Amino acid sequence: MTLDPRSRLLLLALLVGAFCLQTWLIYSDPVGRGHPPLSAAATRGRAVWHAHNCQSCHQIFGFGGFLGPDLTNLASRRGDTQSLARDMTQILTTGSERMPAFLLSEDQRSDLASFFAELDKLGVGQVRITQVPPAKDIFKNLISGHPEHASLTPEAVEGLGIIEQAGCINCHLPNGRSTFAATDLTTLSSTLSEDRLRAVFSNGLPDKGMPALNLQPTQLASLLAGLAWLGENGHELRQGFHDAENASGGSLLDLPWFEYH
């Protein structure tokens, strides 16, 4: 099909106009301009990020490698700064699946955490179906809202408190994507013996990033009671967790992207 000169001129004008409009929209976008510059600690953390070539595997705002997940909103996914710092220390010290360990100093890890915390405030790095609360908050709310929660023994109540305070629910989640592929808390009492659990809690698993908990004997007994309660109500908790994560009709992490999670 051949266009007459007038039609070709009109089409060219439309293309140039679309290009000019897109250029104006991009350079007039105020997003990111109202934020203060990075702090000194975050700037040092960014230097650590570049020095170790983290972007070859991870992304920021969708730019970077595809071997690891996008880390733009790592801070909000962890829920709080303390959880972020603890998890980063474990992951950077021991590695995680395909990710190697990095010999970073405590100051370098702290600076990197500051970088992620400030980066998280700049916007959303990946398209999300909906705003879903952090996984650990979903799990915590399911436990506290369970119909059998009111009938807990004092020992089990203390045990569940230890599980939350020690950060167990940051890694041990019933969603198949726990940090370090950590075992689901609702299955621990049925898959490991009490003696094995006591040994793990007392000594930790350094090669897998789990620290020792240094609990008193009474606290250890309470922790076991809390795990037993989670095991007894595990089916409902796992189903509730799945439903909460997929309340919007599905998770983007479940789609078959060419990306390693």
Tell me whether residue 106 is in a domain.
Answer: yes
Same domain, 141 and 81: no
Q: Average pLDDT of 8-18?
A: 92
Q: How far apart are CA 194 and CA 224, in angstroms?
A: 8
Percentage of the chain exceeding pLDDT 70: 82
Q: How far apart are CA 33 and CA 12, in angstroms?
A: 33
SS3 147: coil
Query: What does the angle CA 219 – CA 221 – CA 227 come to, to the nearest 5 degrees?
Result: 100
Tell me whether residue 129 is in a domain.
Answer: no
Same domain, 80 and 143: no
DSSP secondary structure string for all residues of 191-220? HS-HHHHHHHHHH-BGGGTBPP----HHHH
Identify the domain boundary among 120, 153, 172: 120
Number of domains in the chain: 2
* pLDDT number for residue 60: 85
Q: Average pLDDT of 44-53?
A: 91
Same domain, 111 and 139: no
Tell me whether residue 236 is in a domain.
Answer: yes
SS3 70: strand
Q: Taking a C-beta distance cutoff of 8 angstroms, is the pair 17, 9 a contact?
A: no
Same domain, 141 and 96: no
Tell me whether residue 96 is in a domain.
Answer: yes
Same domain, 74 and 149: no
pTM, entire model: 0.53
Q: Please choose, from the candidates 50, 36, 39, 37, the residue with its C-alpha nearest in 3D space to the C-alpha of residue 114.
A: 39
DSSP secondary structure string for all residues of 3-63? --HHHHHHHHHHHHHHHHHHHHHHHH--TTTSSPPPPHHHHHHHHHHHHTTGGGT-EETTE
**Domain span including residue 228:** 135-254
* pLDDT number for residue 122: 79
- 23, 24, 29, 33 alpha-carbon torsion, rounded to 10°: 90
Residue whose structure tokens are 């991870």 = 58
Tell me whether residue 87 is in a domain.
Answer: yes
Least confident of 84-98, 162-176, 186-200, 230-244: 84-98
Same domain, 139 and 206: yes
Kindly list the distances between the CA atom of residue 234 and the CA atoms of 73, 146, 158, 166, in Å, as whole numbers in the listed order: 30, 11, 18, 20
Tell me whether residue 74 is in a domain.
Answer: yes
- pLDDT exceeds cutoff 50 at 51: yes
Q: Please choose, from the candidates 84, 141, 258, the residue with its C-alpha nearest in 3D space to the C-alpha of residue 149.
A: 141
Please count the CA atoms within 13 angstroms of the CA of 115 that sit on its side-chain side.
18
The mean of the pLDDT values for the chain is: 80
Identify the domain boundary among 85, 120, 155: 120
* pLDDT number for residue 15: 94
Same domain, 71 and 182: no
Least confident of 59-63, 93-97, 200-204: 93-97
* pLDDT number for residue 258: 45
Q: How confident is the model at residue 165 (pLDDT cuts 50, 70, 90)?
A: confident
* Residue 132 vs residue 254, higher pLDDT: 132
Q: How far apart are CA 12 and CA 228, in angstroms?
A: 71
- pLDDT exceeds cutoff 60 at 248: no
CB atoms within 10 A of CB 252: 11
CATH code (residue 166): 1.10.760
* pLDDT number for residue 216: 92
Q: Please choose, from the candidates 192, 137, 191, 203, the residue with its C-alpha nearest in 3D space to the C-alpha of residue 164.
A: 137
* pLDDT number for residue 8: 87
Residue whose structure tokens are 């037993």 = 228
Q: How confident is the model at residue 31 (pLDDT cuts 50, 70, 90)?
A: low
Least confident of 52-66, 143-157, 165-179: 165-179
The structure tokens listed for 176 are 């198949």
Tell me whether residue 17 is in a domain.
Answer: no
Same domain, 116 and 139: no
- pLDDT exceeds cutoff 50 at 234: yes
Same domain, 157 and 111: no
Tell me whether residue 21 is in a domain.
Answer: no
CATH code (residue 107): 1.10.760.10
- pLDDT exceeds cutoff 80 at 206: no
Same domain, 113 and 167: no
Q: How far apart are CA 225 and CA 189, in angstroms?
A: 9
Identify the domain boundary among 65, 88, 120: 120
Beta bridge partners of 63: 60
Same domain, 106 and 52: yes
Q: What is the pLDDT of residues 76-87, one digit of tens each?
A: 877 666 677 777
* Residue 65 vs residue 23, higher pLDDT: 23
* pLDDT number for residue 32: 54
Say how many residues make up the chain.
261
Q: How confident is the model at residue 57 (pLDDT cuts 50, 70, 90)?
A: confident
Same domain, 89 and 192: no
